[in-house]
Amino acid sequence: MKSITYIAIATCAIVFALVAYLAARQSPLWARCAFLLIGVLGLGYGWLGYWLEAHRASMNYLARASLDHYRTLVGGIAIGVFFVLLISGQIALAMKTRSKA
Protein backbone atom coordinates (compact mmCIF):
# COMPACT_ATOMS: atom_id res chain seq x y z
CA MET A 1 0.00 0.00 0.00
CA LYS A 2 2.85 2.39 0.76
CA SER A 3 4.34 1.75 -2.67
CA ILE A 4 1.14 2.95 -4.34
CA THR A 5 1.23 6.07 -2.17
CA TYR A 6 4.77 6.90 -3.27
CA ILE A 7 3.89 6.36 -6.93
CA ALA A 8 0.90 8.68 -6.50
CA ILE A 9 3.09 11.33 -4.83
CA ALA A 10 5.58 11.25 -7.69
CA THR A 11 2.85 11.41 -10.34
CA CYS A 12 0.99 14.28 -8.64
CA ALA A 13 4.21 16.23 -8.17
CA ILE A 14 5.08 16.05 -11.86
CA VAL A 15 1.53 16.99 -12.90
CA PHE A 16 1.53 19.91 -10.42
CA ALA A 17 4.87 21.14 -11.69
CA LEU A 18 3.88 21.06 -15.34
CA VAL A 19 0.49 22.69 -14.79
CA ALA A 20 1.94 25.37 -12.51
CA TYR A 21 4.79 26.05 -14.94
CA LEU A 22 2.39 26.49 -17.84
CA ALA A 23 -0.10 28.56 -15.81
CA ALA A 24 2.57 30.94 -14.52
CA ARG A 25 3.76 32.25 -17.87
CA GLN A 26 3.87 35.85 -16.65
CA SER A 27 5.77 34.91 -13.50
CA PRO A 28 9.50 35.48 -13.20
CA LEU A 29 11.82 32.76 -14.44
CA TRP A 30 12.92 31.86 -10.91
CA ALA A 31 9.30 31.16 -9.91
CA ARG A 32 8.67 28.93 -12.92
CA CYS A 33 11.91 27.06 -12.26
CA ALA A 34 10.86 26.67 -8.61
CA PHE A 35 7.58 25.08 -9.72
CA LEU A 36 9.54 22.63 -11.87
CA LEU A 37 11.96 21.99 -8.98
CA ILE A 38 9.04 21.05 -6.75
CA GLY A 39 7.99 18.49 -9.34
CA VAL A 40 11.47 17.03 -9.68
CA LEU A 41 11.87 16.86 -5.90
CA GLY A 42 8.46 15.22 -5.58
CA LEU A 43 9.46 12.67 -8.20
CA GLY A 44 12.67 11.99 -6.27
CA TYR A 45 10.78 11.67 -3.01
CA GLY A 46 8.34 9.21 -4.55
CA TRP A 47 11.09 7.19 -6.20
CA LEU A 48 13.17 6.98 -3.01
CA GLY A 49 10.12 5.99 -0.98
CA TYR A 50 9.11 3.33 -3.48
CA TRP A 51 12.65 1.95 -3.67
CA LEU A 52 12.88 1.87 0.11
CA GLU A 53 9.61 -0.02 0.47
CA ALA A 54 10.24 -2.43 -2.41
CA HIS A 55 13.75 -3.42 -1.31
CA ARG A 56 13.52 -3.01 2.47
CA ALA A 57 14.02 -6.72 3.22
CA SER A 58 17.15 -7.07 1.08
CA MET A 59 19.03 -4.01 2.42
CA ASN A 60 21.13 -3.72 5.53
CA TYR A 61 20.37 -1.18 8.25
CA LEU A 62 22.86 1.43 7.02
CA ALA A 63 21.44 1.42 3.48
CA ARG A 64 17.86 1.72 4.77
CA ALA A 65 18.82 4.55 7.10
CA SER A 66 20.63 6.40 4.31
CA LEU A 67 17.70 6.11 1.90
CA ASP A 68 15.29 7.22 4.60
CA HIS A 69 17.52 10.19 5.41
CA TYR A 70 17.74 11.29 1.77
CA ARG A 71 14.00 10.82 1.29
CA THR A 72 13.33 13.08 4.26
CA LEU A 73 15.90 15.60 3.02
CA VAL A 74 14.34 15.78 -0.45
CA GLY A 75 10.86 16.18 1.05
CA GLY A 76 12.08 18.99 3.30
CA ILE A 77 13.67 20.84 0.41
CA ALA A 78 10.44 20.55 -1.60
CA ILE A 79 8.43 21.95 1.31
CA GLY A 80 10.94 24.79 1.68
CA VAL A 81 10.71 25.72 -2.01
CA PHE A 82 6.90 25.64 -1.79
CA PHE A 83 6.93 27.99 1.23
CA VAL A 84 9.28 30.39 -0.54
CA LEU A 85 6.82 30.55 -3.44
CA LEU A 86 3.95 30.98 -1.01
CA ILE A 87 5.62 33.79 0.94
CA SER A 88 6.73 35.63 -2.20
CA GLY A 89 3.16 35.66 -3.49
CA GLN A 90 3.94 33.87 -6.75
CA ILE A 91 1.35 31.16 -6.12
CA ALA A 92 -1.40 33.70 -5.48
CA LEU A 93 -0.31 35.67 -8.55
CA ALA A 94 -0.43 32.56 -10.74
CA MET A 95 -3.88 31.64 -9.41
CA LYS A 96 -5.18 35.19 -9.91
CA THR A 97 -3.85 35.34 -13.48
CA ARG A 98 -5.38 31.94 -14.24
CA SER A 99 -8.84 32.90 -12.86
CA LYS A 100 -9.05 36.02 -15.07
CA ALA A 101 -8.51 34.02 -18.25
Domain ranges of the chain: 2-100
Is the entire prediction scored with pTM above 0.75?
Answer: yes
Instruction: For residue 54, give every residue at least 6 positions away whose Cβ sits within 8 Å of its Cβ, in sequence order, or none.
Output: 3
Q: Categorize the per-residue pLDDT at 1 as very low, low, confident or very high, splitting at 50, 70 and 90.
A: low
pLDDT at position 62 is: 93
Highest mean pLDDT among 24-33, 76-85, 92-101: 76-85
Dihedral sign (CA 77, 81, 82, 87)? positive
Mean pLDDT of 85-92: 79
Share of the chain above pLDDT 70, in %: 88
- DSSP labels for 58-69? TS-HHHHHHHHH
What is the b/e burial string over 35-71, where b = at least 16 CB atoms within 10 angstroms of the residue's CB? bebbbebbbbbbbbbbebeeeeeeeeeeeeeebeeeb
Are 13 and 43 contacting, i.e. CB atoms less than 8 angstroms apart?
A: yes
